[in-house]
Amino acid sequence: MKNFLVLTSAVLALAVAGCGSDSSSGGSQGSDSSSGSSSSSSSSSSSGAAAQSGNVAVDIKGFAFTPKDLTVKKGTKITWTNDDSAAHNVTAGDNTFKSKTLNQGDTYSWTADKAGQWDYVCTFHANMTAHITVTG
């Protein structure tokens, strides 16, 4: 009889404690994980560390290339689109890829067929610099 009472109160205490810790930790974990995942995903996308593949677009807008730093896998087709009313071009430092003059709405594509790193510019606007990394 005495043992039964002890056991019963122990089970009750566990149930109460379990309930309490479940709801409190569940609530804090939910807000922690949601804020944590959103901040980590935004930081990883802004760093651009992950290599993209398939078809990748680069916007030419506001006298800048976006993204300015791009990492892609070998075989990726990169397409630049000039969204500015001003004319621009895409010219690699070593001429590995080089567009004609792109007027507004024009596009230029280069398939990254070898691994390496390229700085490129718009030769009309020397401050329009950008960088491409192609992983093997």
Token pair 């070593």 is found at 94
Residue 60: CB minimum distance to Cu ion, A = 7
Residue 136: CB minimum distance to Cu ion, A = 30
Buried b (16+ CB within 10 A) or exposed e, 10-47: eeeeeeeeeeeeeeeeeeeeeeeeeeeeeeeeeeeeee
Q: Which of residues 16-75 bind Cu ion (CB under 5 A)?
A: none
Q: Which is nearer to Cu ion, 58 or 88 (CB)?
A: 88
Q: What's the CA gap between 61 and 13, in Å, rounded?
A: 64
Q: Is the dihedral of CA 105, 106, 111, 116 positive or negative?
A: negative
> Is residue 88 near Cu ion by the rule CB under 5 A?
yes
Identified binder of Cu ion from the candidate list 73, 74, 77, 125, rule CB under 5 A: 125
Residue 29: CB minimum distance to Cu ion, A = 49
> Is residue 122 near Cu ion by the rule CB under 5 A?
yes
> Is residue 124 near Cu ion by the rule CB under 5 A?
yes
CA atoms within 13 A on the CB side of 33: 6
Residue 112: CB minimum distance to Cu ion, A = 22
Q: Which residues bind Cu ion (CB under 5 A)?
A: 88, 122, 124-125, 128
